[in-house]
């Protein structure tokens, strides 16, 4: 018996399955910078961030974490962490600046170099095609509410697959289409900043259609063993009370936040109650014959992004909101307990509930936790160290929830910490830090935080002690 064999296991050890994928994640506009280099043209986020009052402090992603020039350094950091997978997104306007026509090879070359660097480091590339950076020219032509944007996206997917398909094993079509549709076109707090509820519903459908069309293109272009996925930020919705009115509020938000994507993609149908609840806004005639069959093309896994639960009650919400048709029926209630720097409640049970709920609804679909993390007010102390015990506690609690869900039958294949680096946090600019690695934006110096070293130990032992 070896020393390892003799080491007694304690009841607190939580080992994850063999082959579990330990990753971290980023998004192109949040980290790359180089906003006008090598043929890249503006995305909707370039335009939005330059619109006065839209982003805190007038921050933009022009430089961000300068990953475009520091990519090799960042891959080396990942290698030090021991991650098995890296989830990154491709900048659409870097590859296809107008959203039409041939690819710009200089743009694709950056992603070729990134993939080569990852593979040389023994890290599996997990590629996301769309993380909210729609080419501005496509927005000018109508954006996601315009049906033609969906086939434009499928064409772009084919360009990227043609360049990287031989070396990237996992492909995600869309990241959080709920945010793109409802924060971007209904609430106006994300790019492109519109407050048109009916347009948001159109955008949601056309994002679904884009996913379906791109899935078909990827199946034709990629090796048979390649995985095609979709990532959703599903809402763990809870009622304030068990009253019929509060339960109705849950149902409405579940339709707008979850089933608007889950039902078309996995069941080939529109939620009937969603159509009824939004009848005053649209008759859904933009859904054409054959759309749902296209949207429901099988995928190999589903990515889940989770940060906190949502508590609702009967009432009304301020307008504009990201919830078309629900403003007069639902109010959102602050959840109790500790909060992050985003003022989001810390409650890992919501992640457990989502994973076990999907276990029951989609028993044949493998799951990946593709984003999970927290922003805190991190800073480097006089010695240069960055101590973030709150983030360590947050990550531990959520990994415990993932482990419990696996024990209870959920087919969860991996976990991706959000995020590798402090970055441009959308409308919050550089004021919110989600990274496991601290970035001094004045010097671009990278410093692994305590949470990064903790996560490396978790990966090394394959679970929690």
Mean pLDDT of 445-454: 98
Residue 220's pLDDT band (boundaries 50, 70, 90)?
Answer: very high
Residue 12's pLDDT band (boundaries 50, 70, 90)?
Answer: low
For residue 8, pLDDT beyond 90: no
Amino acid 134: pLDDT: 98
pLDDT tens digits, 110-150: 999 999 999 999 999 999 999 999 999 999 999 999 999 99
> Residue 56: what are its φ and ψ, rounded to 5°?
-55, 135
- By the 10 Å C-beta count (0-12 exposed, 13-18 middle, 19+ buried), 126 is classed as buried
Task: State whether residue 249 is helix, strand or coil.
Answer: helix
Closest Cα partner for 403 from 332, 465, 448? 465
Q: Which residues of 102-116 are buried (b: 16+ CB within 10 A; e: fewer)?
A: ebbeebbebbeebbe
> Residue 348: what are its φ and ψ, rounded to 5°?
-75, -15
> Residue 207: what are its φ and ψ, rounded to 5°?
-65, -45
Strands 124-130 and 170-175, how do they pair?
A: parallel
For residue 227, pLDDT beyond 90: yes
Two tokens, residue 464? 């929690």
Amino acid 148: pLDDT: 98
Q: Active-site residue numbers?
A: 176, 371
For residue 169, pLDDT beyond 80: yes
Amino acid 461: pLDDT: 97
Amino acid 399: pLDDT: 98
CA distance 260 to 232: 11
pLDDT tens digits, 24-60: 999 999 999 999 999 999 999 999 999 999 999 999 9
For residue 2, pLDDT beyond 60: no
Separation in Å, CA 9 to CA 5, 64, 337: 10, 44, 32
Torsion from C-alpha of 358, 90, 439, 308, nearest 10 degrees: -20
CA distance 310 to 319: 18
List, in order, residues 6 or more apart from 354 with CB less than 8 Å away: 234, 236, 304, 306
Mean pLDDT of 398-410: 98
Mean pLDDT of 192-202: 98
CA angle 199, 211, 415 (to 5 degrees): 110
Residue 282's pLDDT band (boundaries 50, 70, 90)?
Answer: very high
Closest Cα partner for 102 from 160, 141, 159, 42? 159
Separation in Å, CA 411 to CA 17, 95, 105, 461: 10, 34, 39, 21
CA distance 428 to 252: 28
Task: State whether residue 368 is helix, strand or coil.
Answer: strand
Which residue is associated with the tokens 């520091």? 70
CA distance 442 to 448: 17
Strands 170-175 and 227-232, how do they pair?
A: parallel
Amino acid 13: pLDDT: 84
Percentage of the chain beyond pLDDT 90 is 96
CA distance 441 to 451: 19
List, in order, residues 6 or more apart from 76 with CB less than 8 Å away: 121
For residue 88, pLDDT beyond 50: yes
pLDDT tens digits, 330-388: 999 999 899 999 999 999 999 999 999 999 999 999 999 999 999 999 999 999 999 99
State the chain's mean pLDDT as an integer.
Answer: 96
Mean pLDDT of 398-409: 98
Mean pLDDT of 428-452: 98
């Amino acid at each position: 018996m070896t020393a390892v064999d003799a080491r007694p296991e304690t009841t607190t050890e939580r080992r994850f399955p063999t082959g579990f994928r330990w990753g971290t994640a980023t998004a192109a506009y949040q980290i790359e910078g180089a906003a006008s280099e090598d043929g890249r043209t503006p995305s909707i986020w370039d335009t939005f961030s330059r619109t006065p009052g839209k982003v805190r402090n007038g921050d933009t992603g022009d430089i961000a974490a300068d990953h475009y020039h520091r990519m090799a350094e960042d891959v080396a950091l990942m290698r030090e962490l021991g991650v098995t997978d890296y989830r990154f997104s491709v900048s659409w306007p870097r590859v296809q600046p107008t959203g039409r026509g041939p690819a710009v090879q200089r743009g694709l070359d950056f992603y070729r170099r990134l993939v080569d660097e990852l593979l040389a480091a023994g890290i599996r590339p997990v590629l996301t095609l769309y993380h909210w950076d729609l080419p501005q020219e496509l927005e000018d032509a109508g954006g996601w509410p315009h049906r033609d944007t969906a086939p434009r996206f499928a064409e772009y997917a084919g360009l990227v697959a043609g360049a990287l398909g031989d070396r990237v094993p996992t492909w995600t079509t869309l990241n959080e289409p709920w945010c793109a549709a409802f924060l971007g076109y209904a609430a106006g707090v994300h790019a492109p900043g519109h407050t048109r509820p009916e347009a948001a519903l159109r955008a949601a459908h056309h994002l679904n259609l884009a996913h379906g069309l791109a899935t078909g293109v990827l199946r034709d272009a990629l090796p048979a063993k390649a995985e095609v996925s979709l990532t959703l930020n599903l809402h763990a919705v809870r009622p304030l009370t068990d009253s019929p009115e509060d339960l109705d509020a849950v149902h409405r938000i579940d339709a707008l936040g979850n089933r608007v994507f889950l039902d078309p993609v996995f069941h080939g149908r529109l939620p009937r109650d969603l159509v009824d609840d939004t009848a005053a806004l649209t008759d859904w005639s933009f859904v054409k014959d054959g759309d749902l069959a296209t949207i429901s093309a099988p995928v190999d896994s589903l990515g889940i992004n989770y940060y906190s639960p949502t508590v609702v009650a009967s009432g009304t919400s301020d307008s504009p909101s990201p919830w078309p048709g629900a403003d007069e029926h639902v109010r959102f209630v602050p959840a109790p307990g500790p909060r992050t720097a985003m003022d989001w409640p810390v409650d890992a049970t919501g992640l457990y509930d989502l994973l076990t709920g999907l276990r029951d609804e989609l028993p044949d679909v493998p799951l990946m936790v593709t984003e999970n993390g927290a922003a805190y007010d991190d800073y480097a102390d006089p010695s240069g160290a960055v101590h973030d015990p709150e983030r360590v506690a947050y990550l531990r609690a959520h990994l415990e929830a993932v482990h419990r869900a696996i024990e209870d039958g959920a087919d969860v294949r991996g976990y991706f910490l959000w995020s590798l680096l402090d970055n441009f946090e959308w409308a919050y600019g550089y004021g919110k830090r989600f990274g496991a690695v601290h970035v001094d934006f004045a010097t671009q110096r990278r410093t692994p935080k305590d949470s990064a070293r903790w996560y490396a130990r978790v990966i090394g032992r394959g679970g929690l002690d």
